[in-house]
Structure formats: C-alpha cells, structure tokens
Structure 1
Amino acid sequence: MEEIPSSLPPEDFHQVDEWILDKPGELTTLRASLHQALTGKTLEQGTGLARIPEKLVLVASELATNALKHGIPPTIVRLLSDGTDWLLDVADHDVDGRPYIAGQRAPGQGGFGLFLADQLSLSVGWYQTEDTKNVWARFGTESTQAVPSADQEPNPIGTVLDPRSDPTP
C-alpha cells in the first residue's frame, strides 16, 4: 500500500460548484453536471471529451465512488479553479480513515481510484478537517501526467495501454 501525501491543496482556488452525494446512483448526475461546469456544454451519451475534462470527470467519479464505498456519507465533491487550473476536492466524513493507493489487484477488483488520480493529475494529496477527510487532485494545461504508451514498462497494478495505439499484436 502506497500512501498519498498528506497536504493541503494549493491556495488561490475559488469554488465553481459543489455536489453532495448519498448513494452510488447519483454518480451519473455528478459526471454530467461536472462536464457541464467544465465545458459549458451538456454531456451527451457517447460523446468524447476534451483531454482535461475527460481526466477530471473520470477521477471525480472514481474518488466519489471510493468515498461512497469506503467513507461515511454524505460525500461532498467540489470543483475549484484559479482561472487556469482546476482543483477537484472530494470529502467524506470518515476522519479516522487514511487514503492509500491499493496494491496489485486483478482487473475488475477495483482499487484504482487513487492510482488514476495520481497518474492523471498534476498533483494529488489529502487532508483532514474536524469533520471530513478530503482527497484533492489538481488538473491543468501543464499536466505532464499522461496515459503510458503500450511500449512502457507495466505499472505495479497492471498495464495501462495508450488508447490511441492498435491493441492487436
């Protein structure tokens, strides 16, 4: 198990929107609303997303799922911005739990939320308040984190293929 750094998120971000979730069935609404907050456009089923919104929506969904599954409700998802970058902050009310990147698992067993946040964002961290445990991830145009190409060494959790590559041998 690899712990993510305990640190406050970067300063100078203002809140753009907030969602409060009590059950997994609300994740679909979160994804659509988050996409609209990021792009100003509604998310239509089957529509591809631009790179940063796609990453942020995926990580938001994964972190919110983690909070709903392992934390204490309600889960609070906040989207913040400094005018250039985006900050995603997901909170639950389990102040005794510590977030960590899950170890090696077979596909379909879950446990990839924090791993994806770490891989797809500029930075990731967590902090506690008196009432909440918060995990945050920062996204921006300077992101050097990208999906590894198929010719890179596999990560310890599993191989992530570049979706632009041809999967046939």
Structure 2
Amino acid sequence: MSALRPLAPHPEAAELRRWKLDSFGELRDLRAALREAIKHHTDETDDLFDRMAVVATELATNALRHGLPPTEVVLLRHDERLILDVADHDLGTLPEIAADRPLGAGGLGLQLTKTFAIDVGWYRTDLTKHVWASFPS
C-alpha cells in the first residue's frame, strides 16, 4: 500500500457545482449531473467526461463504502483545470493506493484515479477528509 500525497488543491479554485450523496443509488444521478456541469463549463469532450465520470464514481464509492456519510462531491475550476473533490466525515482513515492487490480483488479506485487524472492528492479539514483529482479542461 502507498499513500497519496497530502496536499490541498488550489485554494483559489472556484466552485462550479456540489452534490451530496447518501447512497450508492445516487451515483447514476451524479454522473448525469456531472456530464451537464462539464458541458456547461468547458468545450466538453467525451474523453474528458468519461475519465472524470470514472474518477467521480470511484472516489464517491470509496467515500460511501469506507467513510462516514454524507459524501460530498464538488466540481471546481482553476485556470485550465477542472478538479473533483470528494469528501467524507471519517477523519480516522487515510486514503491508500492498493498497489499490489490482484485484479478482481477490488481496491483499484485510487489507481484508476491516478491513471485518468493529471494530479491527485488528499487533505483534511476539522470535519472532513478529501480526495481530489484534477483534469485539463
């Protein structure tokens, strides 16, 4: 296992959209709303949406499965980057990349995130733990 680097995303990033999730059933609505938000704020390509949808789903699934509800997903913009920031309320666990886990054993969400995003990190506030990923827009 390896840990993500502890680093907050750009503090001057502007919030574009926010979603609160309480269950896995809300992931489908998240993906649809994310597509609309990306279309509204960029010259969206299907590739950008596909990469961001996978990452949003993986990070939100991790937060729902391993964190404390509610899960919060925020879409941010900083310069030419879109940033997904996913938070839960479990401050006691750190996000770790399952680098040596066999295929089919689960735990590949952060590996996929590192593959599809150009930058990934995590940080804590007094109430929440966040994992974020940025993408060129």
Superposed CA offset, 1:29-60 (max 9, x none): 001111111014xxxxxxxx611111111100
The equivalent of 1:103 in structure 2 is 99
The equivalent of 1:77 in structure 2 is 73
Compute the displacement of 1:120 (Å). Answer: 1.0
In structure 2, C-alpha distance between the alignment counterparts of 1:92 and 1:62, rounded to whole Å: 13
- Secondary structure at the residue paired with 1:19? strand
The one-letter amino acid paired with 1:31 is R
Alpha carbons 2:15, 2:74 under 8 Å: kept:
yes
Largest Rg, 1 or 2: 1
The equivalent of 1:58 in structure 2 is 54
- Secondary structure at the residue paired with 2:8? coil
Aligned Cα root-mean-square deviation (Å): 1.3
- Secondary structure at the residue paired with 1:51? helix
What is the TM-score with the length of structure 1 in the denominator?
Answer: 0.75
1:18 aligns with 2:42: no
The one of the two structures with greater contact order (alpha-carbon pairs below 8 A, sep at least 6) is: 2
Aligned structure 1 segments of 4 or more residues deviating by more than 2 angstroms? 103-109
The equivalent of 1:131 in structure 2 is 127
Alpha carbons 2:10, 2:78 under 8 Å: kept:
no
| Higher normalized strand content (fraction of residues) | 2
The one-letter amino acid paired with 1:15 is E
- Secondary structure at the residue paired with 1:78? strand
Compute the displacement of 1:81 (Å). Answer: 0.8
The equivalent of 1:144 in structure 2 is none
Compute the displacement of 1:83 (Å). Answer: 4.6
- Secondary structure at the residue paired with 1:72? coil
- Secondary structure at the residue paired with 2:102? coil
In structure 2, C-alpha distance between the alignment counterparts of 1:134 and 1:3, rounded to whole Å: 13
What is the TM-score with the length of structure 2 in the denominator?
Answer: 0.91
**Unaligned ranges ≥5, structure 1:** 41-48, 142-169
The one-letter amino acid paired with 2:15 is Q
